[in-house]
Copies of this chain bind each other. A is one copy, B any other.
Amino acid sequence: MSSKIRLGIIGGGGDSLIGVLHRIASFMNDNYQIVGAVFNPVWEENIGFAKQIGINTSRIYPDFDTFIEKETALPTSERIQVVSVLTPNFLHFPMAKKLIENGFHVICEKPMTTTYEEAEILQKTLAKTNTVFAVTYTYTGYPMVRQMREMIKNNEIGEIQKVDIQYYQGWINPIIHDKKLRNTVWRLDPKKGGISCCVGDIGTHAFNMAEYLTGLEIKSILADLNYLYEDNTLDIDGTILVRFSENVKGVLRTSQIATGEENGLQVKIYGTKGGLKWEQENPNYLQVLSEDKPLQIYKPGHSYNSELSLNGTKLPPGHPEGIFDSMANIYLGVAKAIRNEPYNSGEFPVMNDGVRGMKFIEQCVASHKNGNSWVQL
């Protein structure tokens, strides 16, 4: 009877924040119903969490392999259609790969994989299918981010000539200066966090935003990372010079030691005709600069916005929506794709965004280790 898309969740149980974010996002536009899950590898916690959030426990599976086995055995009309992968980073690749191979659509948290090599394999795996695959660069779902993308596409600020994107947080500051403490944080452990902490976790958002907004590819980068202490092996801060072409340059600035910053993703893009500025912590205000007219502030929900932007606003202007709504907009786009309804480019980040992100991370570290030299992307 229900026309809702059958959604499965892997990970995201307990007090996982990413779990809440995805769950609410899936609810928001009445498109999805969570029908199965492996919230946690520990059975008691898994089943307990399902009960706690009121999910029917009949399709809560003990582990990922059982999930695959049991669900694929179900008739198509009952089988889970799409799976959100919210597990620790190193599990994204094997799970996403197996899900694709078994015909599930996938909504994968970022970083998509732990290496560029894995990302390429995943891309090839996907290429053979008709599977919908989304990587949740959450911030691309904000209405004013989408409005920027459309304004740039429509040449409203002319040819891009400068891109400056910041992602500053401060949460590692109280950890990094304490030798004992910094050796206990999983993100600073290369075995768990991969080859990068700061660039991998947030720099990749800045990178994705740069390419998502401009519609251009970054061709080369020069990274200067900071580790602060010799015994700390993963970067916690970095400035990355970027080139879209010989004369179209930019800078990505990331930090986890910008003490007191919360989640300071900020965008500044300048073209031959104007400029755009936006801040994640105050997402409903988009500054549009020009040379000879007053500064304009665009806000969500107004008819002057593009379809891609309006698509992501549920209430009239003046009713602030936030990050749950942003993620929900990505889920909305995925729902359209799964249902074979028309949707616009930009409604959700795709496999290629995930692949580019992995390459970016690896090349940042390579550039830095090679004496801050230019490397290709």
Residue numbers of A with Cβ under 8 A of B are: 1-4, 17, 20-21, 23-24, 27-28, 30-31, 33, 51-57, 157-158, 161-162, 164, 166, 168-170, 173-174, 177, 222, 224, 226-229, 237, 239, 241, 247, 249, 251, 253, 255, 257-264, 268, 270-275, 280-284, 288-299, 302-304, 314-325, 372, 374
* A50 CB → nearest B CB, Å: 9
Find out whether the CB atom of A274 lies under 8 angstroms from the CB atom of B260: yes
Contact of A241 among B33, B280, B321, B372 (CB under 8 A): B372
User: Roughly how many angstroms separate A177 CA and B225 CA in the complex, as a whole number?
Assistant: 34
A299: which B residues are within 8 A, CB to CB?
Answer: 262, 294-295
Q: Which residue of B lies closest to A289 (CB)?
A: B260
User: Roughly how many angstroms separate A362 CA and B273 CA in the complex, as a whole number?
Assistant: 31
Contact of A282 among B30, B157, B158, B320 (CB under 8 A): B320
Find out whether the CB atom of B4 lies under 8 angstroms from the CB atom of A54: yes
Q: Which residue of B lies closest to A27 (CB)?
A: B27
A315: which B residues are within 8 A, CB to CB?
Answer: 17, 20-21, 323
Evaluate whether A283 and B320 lie within 8 angstroms (CB atoms) in the complex, with A20-B315, A259-B291 already known: yes
Find out whether the CB atom of B241 lies under 8 angstroms from the CB atom of A177: no
Find out whether the CB atom of A292 lies under 8 angstroms from the CB atom of B282: no
A251: which B residues are within 8 A, CB to CB?
Answer: 239, 251, 253
* A326 CB → nearest B CB, Å: 9
A161: which B residues are within 8 A, CB to CB?
Answer: 173, 228, 257, 259
Find out whether the CB atom of B318 lies under 8 angstroms from the CB atom of A264: yes
Find out whether the CB atom of B261 lies under 8 angstroms from the CB atom of A289: yes
User: Roughly how many angstroms separate A222 CA and B162 CA in the complex, as a whole number?
Assistant: 18
Find out whether the CB atom of A294 lies under 8 angstroms from the CB atom of B291: no
* A341 CB → nearest B CB, Å: 14
Pairs of residues from A and B, 7 with the lowest C-beta to C-beta distance, nearest first: A260-B289, A263-B318, A262-B318, A4-B54, A322-B322, A30-B53, A27-B27
User: Roughly how many angstroms separate A4 CA and B50 CA in the complex, as a whole number?
Assistant: 11
* A178 CB → nearest B CB, Å: 11
List 10 other contacts, CB 8 Å, given A24-B24, A30-B52, A281-B318.
A31-B54, A161-B173, A161-B228, A170-B275, A260-B275, A262-B318, A295-B299, A296-B296, A296-B297, A314-B324
Find out whether the CB atom of B282 lies under 8 angstroms from the CB atom of A293: no
* A247 CB → nearest B CB, Å: 5
Find out whether the CB atom of B291 lies under 8 angstroms from the CB atom of A260: yes
A and B contact pairs by CB, cutoff 8 A, 23 listed:
A1-B56, A2-B55, A4-B54, A30-B53, A169-B318, A170-B270, A173-B270, A239-B241, A239-B249, A239-B251, A251-B251, A257-B270, A260-B291, A264-B318, A280-B320, A283-B320, A288-B294, A292-B302, A294-B299, A297-B297, A314-B324, A320-B320, A320-B323
